[in-house]
Amino acid sequence: MIGVDTVGVAAKLGAAADNATAIAQLADEVGLDVPTAYGVQAALVQRRLDRGERLVGLKMGLTSRAKMAQVGVDEVIWGRLTDVMRVPDGGTVDPAAYIHPRVEPEVAFLLDRLPEPGEPVGDFATAVRAVAPAIELIDSRYADFRFSLPDVIADNTSAAAFVIGPWSPVPAGLDNLGVLLEVDGRVVQVGSTAAILGDPRRALDEGIRLAGRHGVRLESGWVFLAGAATAAVPLRPGAHVRAVVEKLGTASLKASA
Ligand code: OOG
Ligand code: MG
């Protein structure tokens, strides 16, 4: 779309994140369509790279019905992950550094040898070196965590932080593993990896395809988040959060009080 100041829009979203202050949705006002929104996302992430962050992966969003229903957007989306967003397993985050942080259970892939652009992932075990349970901390920069499809794409799909649990070799089946999200020892969300596009391996095909449309090629060594299998829950000060994925184990995170 001609005439959208993608760098200017990205600066507003970047400032909202830096100051942990919500802003109003802006897609309608500035006339963002989906391709332009991905352009804003690229500019938003470029601000981070300009201050020394490194691109370390890609995340999928809205790959499950539970997530689509929670936010009222029903298209699969993708965003970019940087090294500064990564929190060590068992590490602590300060909820005050975010606007209205939420946590969700994820499955992570460690990418290995990927097909040429436009080619499908032939052998998953060649494309993916290892898998892990993960937690994503999302924090929409929009007031009340409400947004349209182009709004959330421009906002780097609400990406804020992520935790990767221990890596395991790719198990025989990934398509029906139980998923739990626990807060302070209580189960708050229950799901299955089957909720992720029927099989989280499909999320990788989608990621390669959708990012490829915008000239982004996934790289060996990158982390890939397949998208949450359940709805996200608010991260309260002092909370202890665990994501448990059957056969893969646990990733955990603490929120400072
Ligand atoms: C958008 C990001 C969605 C997922 O795993 O589905 C996402 C949001 O819910 O704010 O990360
Ligand atoms: Mg997510």
pLDDT one-digit tens code per residue, 141-180 = 999 999 999 999 999 999 999 999 999 999 989 999 999 9
Asked if the structure places residue 203 within a domain, the reply is yes
Asked if the structure places residue 1 within a domain, the reply is no
Asked if the structure places residue 247 within a domain, the reply is yes
Asked if the structure places residue 72 within a domain, the reply is yes
15 three-class SS = helix
**What domain count does the chain have?**
1
**Ligand 1 atom with minimal separation from the 158 CA:** 10
Pairing of strands 55-61, 223-225: parallel
Find the CATH number of the domain harbouring 60. 3.90.850.10
Mean pLDDT (the chain, rounded): 96
**Ligand 1 atom with minimal separation from the 232 CA:** 9
pTM across the whole model: 0.97
Distance from the alpha carbon of residue 137 to the mean position of ligand 1, in angstroms: 9
Asked if the structure places residue 25 within a domain, the reply is yes
Asked if the structure places residue 166 within a domain, the reply is yes
The parent domain of residue 145 ranges over 6-255
Distance from the alpha carbon of residue 134 to the mean position of ligand 1, in angstroms: 14
- pLDDT band for 1, please (50, 70, 90 cuts): very low
Angle at 222 between CA 221 and CA 226, to 5 degrees: 135
Asked if the structure places residue 41 within a domain, the reply is yes
Question: Which residues are near ligand 1 (CB < 6 Å)?
Answer: 59, 61-62, 67, 71, 104, 136, 138, 140, 152, 157-158, 227-228
**Ligand 1 atom with minimal separation from the 67 CA:** 6
- Neighbouring-strand partners of residue 178: 192
Tokens 């499950």 -> residue: 64
